[in-house]
Amino acid sequence: MSKSAIQIETRGLNVSFHNSPVLKDINIEIPAKQLTAIIGPSGCGKTTLLKSFNRLLEIQEDVKISGEIIVDGKDIMTSGLNVPDIRKKMGLISQKPYPLPMSIFENVAYGLRIHHGKNPKKVEEGVHHCLQEVGLWNEVKDRLHDPASRLSVGQQQRLCLARAIAVKPEVILCDEPTSALDPIAAQQIERLLLKLKKDFTVILVTHTLRQAKRVADYVIFLYFGMVVEHGLADQVFNDPKSPEMKAYLSGEIS
Amino acid sequence: MHINKASAVVKKKSFLSALLILILSILSLFVLKDIALALILLFVAVALIAVNFLIISRRLFDVLGTRFMLIVVLFVLALFFLLIIVLLNGSGILLEHQSIGDLLFSSAWKPFSNHFGLFAVIIDTLIVTAISMVIAVPISLLTAVYITEYAPTRLRNMIRPFIDVLAGVPSVVFGLCALLVFIPVVRDYIAPFFGVVTSSGFCLFTASLILSIMVFPIIISLCVESFSSIPLALKEASLSVGATKWETVKKVIFRASGPGVLSAIFLGFGRAFGETIAVSMVIGNQELIPRTLFGSGQTLASLIANNYTEVASIPLLASALIFVALILFVVVLIFNICGFLVLRRASKRWKY
Ligand SMILES: Nc1ncnc2c1ncn2[C@@H]1O[C@H](COP(=O)(O)OP(=O)(O)OP(=O)(O)O)[C@@H](O)[C@H]1O
Ligand SMILES: [Mg+2]
């Protein structure tokens, strides 16, 4: 892989909660403008890894993080950086959608106003564009000012996606975005992610192996806080090297 | 269904066998004259019955419980209406003597000539409550935000118990401290600073100050509770579009915990509005509208506290004080109803 195509690189990343290590010596490279799936059994540290990319771990209590996370050639763990700027580059979609406690319109406008000015016309255009992008515009165009909590869960998840892309991030971090959704809504999200990877680097934590197989270009397999195997999806799925990966693929561990 | 029936049958059987064993035990006592055997049998019988009774009594408590709760609820409701009736009835005597309009809009409080005007007291009450809330609300909200969002964990865990204790300190303690500390400070420094040199320190401002201090711990404690019940993921959602902590607090946390914050404010208002002893210790107790905040006044609650000893000697005073109590009651009632309506609307609209 050529250097220019790497979006995120970690070097010796260690994370511990309350002095018990959760991520151990993570060294990975995540390719730009591709869909990278992070897979692994429950509790292996997938969410933790994902949140370390946009420095969201540090708002929790008693977390220790060491190592380097290099984004655009710069280590984002350096102290003194403007953290909101780092986070702006990485949208986050969580397991269960959390619309902000405001209207549908305001949810998308929220980030726009913070980063791209308050010009009402531009904000409106931006909201329109993002809602269109996630295929929500036609469903909500008549009730833009309703509370976002009135949407269905699937719609809420797409709204969260719209909110994330509104600030023009480089990366979209998705933490099992479809696990709370019905199959049809899940499929919509999946297709959206595939579409979005043209413009964004997508990192997808997923519990379902089948989903990873369907969408991933690149795969990282975590096992008890360590990266046991990572590489191109084809190679990892069809020719796994480690016994753990083989066991996981055959369903022996899950 | 089957299981229920079966268990009923088992119960009946074990009950019968308990009876049988009891009879056997009595027989063994009187016929066999064997006390040891009789005691053992008796013990077994009692144990069986006890077990049975326990099984029954599990339901028994539920049945009794629901009835009992109903009685308690009815009792509370009855108390509420009883209070209204007593207050209405008690103020009736005064209302025959003086019109409501005169009571509410005349400023002259002259119990010795049987004229009771509450206007000044009402205005003083409004001023004192408003100022104390204006001081208390923003500061307590910011403190609560600091405690939940900015303070290091260690500090947060240390502060919270202190605040809870403060919320429970009897108001007379606050009153006494205000008497010893605030009165001289207001008299010697604050009032002169605002150009009032004649203030005794016993004034509306001191009363507002002590009220706001008494309200702090209530609002802070409730707000901290509602801020910290916001899911982490909601904060993460805001932070991850690149919002700063403060933007998140302002736009997301305040809104998401809006209902909780509102009810904290309502509760604080109730306390400030009805607080009696601490206010009567520092407000100067004069039924007039002072020209500045550094003049003496009287609130509705402190009026009652300062006059109830004279009830026996002035015929209509008792009725007048009950009327004041009625006003306090009605205002708190209206405020609570409004609070409830606002809360319901807010929590419907901004649930997350
Ligand atoms: N805030 C926290 N405090 C303490 N321990 C934590 C915290 N967050 C995560 N952990 C621990 O870190 C480990 C990894 O958690 P993480 O949420 O990253 O796993 P995961 O792979 O995302 O699991 P899942 O598939 O169930 O979502 C778990 O053992 C968890 O108990
Ligand atoms: Mg997870």
Residue spans per domain, chain B: 2-90, 113-349
Q: pLDDT value at position A4?
A: 47
B113-349 under CATH 3.40.47.10, yes or no: no
Q: pLDDT value at position A2?
A: 46
| pLDDT tens figures, B7-26 | 566 567 777 887 888 888 88
Cβ–Cβ < 8 Å for A156, A163: no
Q: Does A63 touch chain B (CB under 8 A)?
A: no
pLDDT exceeds 90 at position B133:
yes
Contact B233 A98 (CB under 8 A): yes
Q: How far apart are CA B81 and CA B29, in angstroms?
A: 61
**For residue A178, which of A212, A150, A148, A149 has the smallest C-alpha distance?**
A212
pLDDT exceeds 80 at position B132:
yes
Q: Does A102 touch chain B (CB under 8 A)?
A: yes
**pLDDT bucket at A177, cuts 50 / 70 / 90:** very high
Contact B241 A167 (CB under 8 A): yes
| pLDDT tens figures, B299-330 | 999 999 999 888 888 888 999 999 999 999 99
Q: pLDDT value at position B234?
A: 94
Instruction: For residues B135-151, give the mean pLDDT.
Output: 95
Q: pLDDT value at position A207?
A: 87
How far A238 CA lies from chain B's nearest CA (Å)?
35
ipTM comes to 0.92
Q: Does B349 touch chain A (CB under 8 A)?
A: yes
Instruction: For residues A154-167, give the mean pLDDT.
Output: 94
pLDDT exceeds 90 at position B72:
no
**For residue B167, which of B226, B224, B227, B219 has the smallest C-alpha distance?**
B219
Q: How far apart are CA B64 and CA B335, in angstroms?
A: 36
Contact A114 B351 (CB under 8 A): no
| pLDDT tens figures, A99-123 | 999 999 999 999 999 998 888 999 9
Ligand 1 lined by A60 (C-beta under 6 Å)? yes
pLDDT exceeds 80 at position A90:
yes
Q: How far apart are CA A97 and CA B255, in angstroms?
A: 18
pLDDT exceeds 50 at position B341:
yes
Q: pLDDT value at position A1?
A: 46
Put residue A18 in one of left, alpha, beta given phi > 0 → left and psi -120 to 50 → alpha. left
Q: How far apart are CA A7 and CA A97, in angstroms?
A: 26
State the closest ligand 1 atom to the C-alpha of A62, by its place in the atom list counted from 1. 3
Instruction: For residues A179-191, give the mean pLDDT.
Output: 90
The shortest CB-CB distance from B251 to any of A59, A62, A110 is to A110
Q: How far apart are CA B175 and CA B282, in angstroms?
A: 7
Which residues of chain A make contact with B244, given a CB cutoff of 8 A? Answer: 84
Is A181 strand, coil or helix? coil
State the closest ligand 1 atom to the C-alpha of A51, by its place in the atom list counted from 1. 18
Q: pLDDT value at position B329?
A: 93
Contact B351 A164 (CB under 8 A): no
The shortest CB-CB distance from B350 to any of A84, A101, A167 is to A101
Instruction: For residues B71-93, give the mean pLDDT.
Output: 88
Q: pLDDT value at position A220?
A: 95
A3-250 under CATH 3.40.50.300, yes or no: yes
User: Strands A6-17 and A29-31, how do they pair?
Assistant: antiparallel
Ligand 1 lined by A206 (C-beta under 6 Å)? no
Domain ranges of chain A: 3-250
Look at ligand 1, atom 23, and give the residue with the nearest C-alpha.
A43
Element (H, E) at A91: strand A90-93
pLDDT exceeds 80 at position B342:
yes
